[in-house]
Amino acid sequence: MDINADHTTHHITRESFEELFQTYWKRMYSFALKTADNADDAKEIVQEIFKSLWERKDKLSLHDAERYLLRSVKLKSLEYIRNKATRNRHHEVILTESNVIYEDSQLHFKELKDRINHVVNMLPKQCKNVFKMSREQGLTNREIAQLLFISERAVEYHISKALVILRAHFQPLK
């Protein structure tokens, strides 16, 4: 199809656009599919080209539609490959960094938990029992008092004592 062969400005009409689409979409799709290696991506590439063509129909003057459309699909396909490679590199970097950060966080968490357990295990027996019942088992002060046959005030005392000792062990050095 030779739109604008006489070099005067003719805008692309709906009919000429449909004719371009029917004439060239299969060839464009085949080329895009070879390049993109994915049917959905190839369809999207061709669709973007025709969408752009339609959006610029009033300003665009085509002298050799076939050459224009095939060149467009080639350029758009190469752009797709370049962007896909860039996206894949970014995804790889993000995944690698995320795994490293996650593993570091898990390691720090385990080390901190081990340090806390070490300090808790050094607490006097009753203090340790009360603290573990409160923090690990989630029991209320009243429940702990009833189970250990001590007053709620004694439970509060043991929890406060445990927290003071823990804070002392985890104070930053000055």
CATH at 45:
1.10.1740
Number of domains composing the chain: 2
The answer to the question of residue 66 being in a domain is yes
pLDDT score recorded for residue 26: 92
pLDDT higher at 159 or 102: 159
Query: At CA 52, angle to CA 49 and CA 54, rounded to 5?
Result: 110
Please write the tens of the pLDDT for every residue from 61-75: 777 888 888 888 988
Write out the two tokens for 71: 């060149």
| Domain assignment present for 32 | yes
- Within a 10 A sphere around the Cβ of 72, how many other Cβ atoms? 19
Task: Give, rounded to a whole angstrom, the gap between the first and last alpha carbons of the chain.
Answer: 82
Quick one: 81 and 132 in the same domain? no
Domain-located, residue 110: no
More confident residue, 92 or 43: 43
Let me know whether 134 and 83 are in one domain.
no
**Do 72 and 140 sit in the same domain of this protein?**
no
In a domain, 63, yes or no: yes
At position 19, the amino acid (one-letter code) is E
Contact (CB, 8 A) for 13 and 60: no
Q: Does 143 share its domain with 78? A: no
Same domain, yes or no: 86 and 19: yes
**What mean pLDDT value characterizes the chain?**
84
Tell me: pLDDT of 138 over 60.
Answer: yes
pLDDT for 1 beyond 60: no
Domain that holds residue 145: 123-174
Predicted structure pTM score:
0.44
Q: What is the pLDDT of residues 80-96, one digit of tens each?
A: 888 887 777 777 777 77
Mean pLDDT of 102-113: 84
Last-in-domain residue among 74, 91, 108: 91
**Segments in the chain forming alpha helices (H):** 14-36, 39-55, 65-122, 125-135, 141-148, 152-169
Over its C-alpha atoms, the chain yields an Rg (Å, rounded) of 36
Same domain, 21 and 82: yes
